[in-house]
Structure 1
Amino acid sequence: MTALLSAVLLCTGCNEDREGNDDDAPWVTIKNPTEEEVYQTDFTAVRLGGRCDNTTWEVFAYNALTDRTVPGYVLYNDGHGTWFADVNLEPGENPITVTVASDEGKGTASDTITVIYSP
């Protein structure tokens, strides 16, 4: 059976000028398990990961099929955040939303991936 996994990544963060206006939009990228839009696996879990704004402090991945949220992790290096989250897969469509929140709570960015799970 083939399962389809969609991951949506939201990264919340901002950079402000002296007047408090956003001068740089937050950003996020999915780099793992691939930078492509589609990935196929026969494993029951997937590690999603990538890079995001350096104000990120909280990551959660929600799988709508299982109705479960798992925590993710953020590491900092060279002025940006690197994040990852391990998500269990079930046969069928596994739509996943990964939310990354900044310590400032401003702005959002997103990226998506589709993982095809074939047990």
Structure 2
Amino acid sequence: MSADGDLSIRGRIKELINRGGEKISPERVEHVLATHPNVLEPAVFGVPHPLYGEAVAAVIVPRQPAPTPEELTEFCRERLAAFEIPATFELASELPHTAKGSLDRRAVAQRFGPPA
């Protein structure tokens, strides 16, 4: 919030998920998922949704024992707004990264999202 009361959202606008007009930061959801004891690395991205425009999807590299989608949903329910909770969870052995080592969101969405 600026000194004159303006609220600004930081981050790349193209990475925000627009679910029925609600703007969701994938990084915020990933931060919450990363605090789960059985999540090694999360990736969150938007997928097409017929009613809301986009829905939240998550891919998880788990620690053992791997958490179930129900466990992850309940974990998120206690920490996120209802519209921020991923609609789907998928487990993966690894996630794609850029040459600099950061999460390659585009590659995650291409690999784990619905076919184009």
TM-score over 0.5 for the pair? no
The structure in which a higher percent of residues are strand is 1
Q: Of Structure 1 and Structure 2, which has the larger fraction of its residues in helix?
A: 2
RCO higher in 1 or 2 (8 Å CA, sep ≥ 6)? 1
Q: TM-score by structure 1 length?
A: 0.29
